[in-house]
Structure 1
């Protein structure tokens, strides 16, 4: 049998080369897991609940014996599931606190020749490491611009040009604003979003500029980590300026395939902020298939909100890309020059 304990930092390094098996329950895994890990639960949610009650009521030994009764018939299946995932004889395993669940699977895999790396302190220690890393300084550059300016496309163009990019909306599976969830893509939990963002940051050079879109604290249902959001608010903000007509055209293209019912629902969700007159105008325009008029009505609110947010920033940390080129590629090229010249 070959087992080796790893600190969270070393465990994540090893995870770039070897498969990770998370032996926690399915509900624990869904709430948050190490990106790329595979769930190989020793117990179901119901079984873990039963064992937990038994531990509290009768003590450790009865709980352990009951766990062995549950796991025993499934030992061969655990090995087969690992074999189905990888041909490698080196794997990584963890549970919640680095206790019996991960140690038990490591022992089993060791009996059939696997070399097993264990996460010291389990997923709990990993999460502590993730949250601590968010407090480390990053050289962020924030890309600002009114709704419909094509900021996501520009970020992708920046990345293609070799710039470091953190695409928060992509990781959140949400386009931002009340209309961001119209793709019907399930968002991660906030905890999983933090894990995913952390995994991307681990691939970037923190001492070099990292472009990120200007976001509110909440992106759909997920919340940006406090440490990261604080740095975003204090970082230099580069504002691009795209004409209202170009923005309306882009938004109509982006959302033109969405059903009128979903668009009307999104407008209704922000009706209190839009006001009665703008809401009625937008809803009637959607019903008439006049998406340009509806978009203009909604942009009145979003533009006002954006300008208010800019007014709350330190003016010494705000700069304009003026004039702003027309194409995303040309904008990205100009932003790349700023990244080389700006004092972070």
Structure 2
């Protein structure tokens, strides 16, 4: 089988990448562009593992082989029924073991030029982590820094529409970053999946041009940002995004309106702020939820929670903030792309353009 093994850097030489792990393993993360053709279902993998440990390795392997053979046959009759004779697939499983080895061997017996990824997904994951220690450092970032509600995410999207390079970490993490920042009805990706998506995003950038990124702390919801990325853009150039109190309150009311669809869940999230704020204050905010006092709650959170947190953390994390270009952004207006273009023009004429 050794002559059928190939390294990860040869993956681009193949017509298709086939992930033969279970759907659950695939959903957690996979090599970009891979097709999932599981040789064991989620339940079958549990059965094989349990049999292997509780009865005997022989019995577990025997049952597993029968299931794998049956599932490969199904894929040959369906998923791969139209693949041409000269098809060259790259096959991988968790660590380049029996699952991918079985498929690779059988595919070659059929006549396809199949190869097995040496090290499997485990090797790919190791390469991803290595990449995240170095790749983020190859870019120059301009961080959009500003208090919650100033519309940094909207400005980032507008900059993208205006032709700038943007890294939307909150979109990759499916979370707004704050305690109340969970997306309605959307689960965050796994850490592994986020890392893969981040590497894909970074590889699409031109290192000769700056990359705009929204100011973030170490974690976005359950996702941890790679230290190399965090440290690099924390030390880079900044644009301080300022908005009026009225604009910020209106922006928060719009972006967080879904939280009031489930008042009990919102009150439970506010409960987590005890420790940061007194029990009496948090209870008062929860009463505002019961009374549907949206505008008052937004104003309270801006004044008593978000702004003090911004004042504490921004200058500590972003060393270039004292020299930042300040812009007054109107996040609720229809001309956000024009505002973004104006910012780019300002940057072209400022020292930040060469940072």
TM-score (norm 1): 0.85
Tell me, what secondary structure is at the counterpart of 1:312?
helix
8 Å contact from structure 1 (residues 27, 45) kept in 2: no
8 Å contact from structure 1 (residues 241, 321) kept in 2: no
Residue of structure 2 equivalent to 1:174? 175
Deviation at residue 81 of structure 1 after TM alignment: 4.5
**Residue in structure 2 matching 1:296, options 296, 299, 308:** 299
Residue of structure 2 equivalent to 1:72? 69
Match status 1:324 vs 2:325: no
Residue of structure 1 equivalent to 2:120? 122
8 Å contact from structure 2 (residues 240, 321) kept in 1: no
Residue of structure 1 equivalent to 2:29? 32
8 Å contact from structure 1 (residues 92, 116) kept in 2: yes
Number of residue-to-residue matches in the alignment? 336
Residue of structure 1 equivalent to 2:222? 221
Match status 1:100 vs 2:98: yes
**Residue in structure 1 matching 2:341, options 333, 338, 344:** 333
The structure-2 alpha-carbon separation of the partners of 1:160 and 1:122, relative to structure 1 and needing over 3 Å to count, comes to same
Provide, for residues 58-98 of structure 1, a one-character-per-residue CA deviation record: whole Å limited to 9, x for no partner. 5xx77655532332233321223433797893433211222
Question: Structure 2: which 5+ residue stretches go unaligned?
Answer: none
More deviation, 257-266/173-182? 257-266
In the TM superposition, what are the counterparts of 1:177-326 in structure 2 within 5 Å? 177-258=178-259, 259=261, 260-300=263-303, 301-313=305-317, 315-316=319-320, 318-326=322-330
8 Å contact from structure 1 (residues 239, 319) kept in 2: no
Provide, for residues 9-52 of structure 1, a one-character-per-residue CA deviation record: whole Å limited to 9, x for no partner. 342x458xx44321123443343322343332223321441475
Question: Structure 1: which 5+ residue stretches go unaligned?
Answer: none
Deviation at residue 230 of structure 1 after TM alignment: 2.3
8 Å contact from structure 1 (residues 173, 188) kept in 2: yes
Residue of structure 2 equivalent to 1:46? 46
8 Å contact from structure 1 (residues 79, 109) kept in 2: no
Deviation at residue 104 of structure 1 after TM alignment: 1.6
Deviation at residue 214 of structure 1 after TM alignment: 0.9
More deviation, 284-293/311-320? 311-320
Deviation at residue 203 of structure 1 after TM alignment: 1.8
**Residue in structure 2 matching 1:132, options 130, 138, 142:** 130
Match status 1:109 vs 2:113: no
Tell me, what secondary structure is at the counterpart of 1:82?
coil
The structure-2 alpha-carbon separation of the partners of 1:53 and 1:90, relative to structure 1 and needing over 3 Å to count, comes to same
Q: Distance in 2 between matches of 1:308 and 1:183?
A: 29
Q: CA RMSD in A?
A: 2.9
